[in-house]
Amino acid sequence: MNIGILLKEGPYNHQASDTAYKFAEAALARGHKVDAVFLYNDGVTNVTRLMDPPQDDRNIAERWSRLSKEHGVEVLACIAASKRRGISDEILIEGGEITGLGTLTDIAIRNDRLITFGD
pLDDT in tens, 4-23: 999 999 999 899 999 999 99
Question: Element (H or E) spanning 68, and its range?
Answer: helix 60-71
Residue-level pLDDT at 76: 98
Residue-level pLDDT at 115: 98
CB contact at 8 A, 9 and 16: yes
Residue-level pLDDT at 57: 93
Residue-level pLDDT at 92: 97
CATH architecture of 1-115: 3-Layer(aba) Sandwich (3.40)
What pTM, to 2 d.p., does this model score? 0.95
Q: Is 10 among the catalytic positions? A: no
Residue-level pLDDT at 107: 98
Q: Residue 72 — left, alpha, or beta (φ > 0 → left; ψ -120 to 50 → alpha)?
A: left
Residues of the chain with pLDDT under 70: none
16, 20, 37, 78: which is the annotated catalytic residue? 78
